[in-house]
Amino acid sequence: MSAEPQPDRLGALRDDVRSFVDEEVLPVEDVALRADHRDVLAGLMSEAKARGLWALGHPEELGGGGLPFLDYVDVCEIVGRSAPAYVALGTHSLQDVLMLKRHGTREQQERWLGPLVDGEVFTGMAMTEPEVAGSDPKTIRTTAHQDGDAWVINGHKWFTSWADRAAFVTVIAKSDPTADLHRQFSAFLVPTDTEGFEVTRLLSVMGEDETIHGELRFDGVRLSDAHLLGERGQGFAIAQHRLGPARIFDAMRWLGQAERAFELATATARRRYAHGTTLAEKGEIRHLIAESASQIYATRLIVLDAARAIDAGDDAHVRVSIAKFVGARMLNDVVDRAIQVHGAAGLSSDLPLERMYREARAARIIDGPDEVHRMVVARALIEDTAANAPW
């Protein structure tokens, strides 16, 4: 009896996502996230839904594709080929959906989960503040105190992504200043039409033509207890639960971006002729290509191993931190080398490389700068190498 060959479902799905990104997203990637082209983004979202590619990693019972975590990590590599694909395919809401599914009350879930999964509403995480170091959230100054039945929030945040269109933001505020340091902060869901909440400006950020990151003021924002997310004092734990898988999705998207830059570099090296040979025949260029290939390959193994550890329920924080800073460096290096291979053309906006270069720089800062992740890794391995080394 011969076993039927199993169709490679994941491979076929990755092919479909790649066709969608190449055919639909790449032609409009310069404008798709701009506020004056929201119709373009809406069109891409509809097309993704029509092709059965929308929200593939979201839980099935909420209307998503229900892909297991590791499978969706694989899909994220393709999503990363173009920045707007992240929204066009619904990936952008996944971390908040998982956070609400895990920590939200039934009422909070009924209000927000459906519209988030459908892409009808956007949301943001308001943690970073201008006055204190974002990489050390223990210094957060935004406060939440109880006044009768209500919570009252006062504070100042910035770099809250999607503040330009969010229906609500999750704010991390100091609610219990005398508690143990890690239990001093709570998370609140703040609808953006609440009195006292204001987006005071949108920040213009390197590499992004659109302005989606907001500076926010919370001026005596009054909320009922129904807006507390999870338990009081759980703010940091909730933020970490949201960030762990998100860092893996991000690193996979950076791989997709780097692979696209690599493909452009090798194609040009094969075609371009100088000093008697193609560029591809020159040792210096082969060196650049081999360096990029090795970084992509090594990063891919690291990220997938971190994803496997998360999936197995292991303590993955060392692996995730390594994946974060190795992935960010890899992306910056690979795009930089691809520009070098293209000469002046690489710097022109005729090619996507100059935009990819500007976009890549943020990877070394968002979700914790490289230095903080190196600190986390070094601290764990100095404390106990045998227990914490990922090899």
Residue 344 tokens read as 């002046």
Q: Residue 262 is which amino acid? A: F
* Residue window 352-391: x/- pattern of binding to ligand FAD, with contact defined by CB under 6 A: ----------x--xxxxx-xx--x----------------
Question: Which contiguous run of DSSP H or E holds residue 124?
Answer: strand 122-126
Could you tell me the smallest distance in angstroms from the CB atom of residue 265 to ligand FAD?
25
**198-237 residues near ligand FAD, rule: CB under 6 A:** 205, 213
Interacting positions 261-320 with ligand FAD (CB under 6 A): none
Rule CB under 6 A: which of 117-136 touch ligand FAD? 124-128, 133-135
HSE toward the beta carbon, residue 69, CA cutoff 13 A: 19
Q: How far apart are CA 271 and CA 168, in angstroms?
A: 50
Mask for 150-189, x = binds ligand FAD (CB under 6 A):
---------xxx----------------------------
d(CA 249, CA 86) in angstroms, rounded, equals 10
Closer Cβ to ligand FAD, 139 or 277, answer by number: 139
Report d(CA 375, CA 299) in Å as an integer: 19
Q: How far is the CB of 324 from ligand FAD (least distance, A)?
A: 11
Nearest approach in angstroms of CB 344 to ligand FAD is 28
Residues in contact with ligand FAD, counted by CB under 6 A, come to a total of 22
**Is there binding between residue 94 and ligand FAD (CB under 6 A)?**
no
Name the minimum Å distance from CB 132 to ligand FAD: 7
- As measured in angstroms, the least distance from the Cβ of 233 to ligand FAD is 19
Q: Cβ(214)–Cβ(203) under 8 Å?
A: yes
Decide whether 54 or 122 has the Cβ nearer to ligand FAD.
122
Task: Rank residues 67 and 190 by Cβ distance to ligand FAD and give the closer one.
Answer: 190
Q: How far is CA 284 from the centre of its chain?
A: 34
CA 227 – CA 230 distance, rounded (Å): 9
What phi and psi, each to the nearest 5 degrees, are found at residue 143?
A: -115, 155
Q: What is the DSSP string of 92-120?
A: GGHHHHHHHHHH--HHHHHHHHHHHHHTS
Rounded to an integer, what is the distance from CA 71 to the centroid of its chain? Answer: 17
**Nearer CB in complex with ligand FAD: 160/295:** 160
Q: Which residues bind ligand FAD (CB under 6 A)?
A: 124-128, 133-135, 159-161, 205, 213, 362, 365-369, 371-372, 375
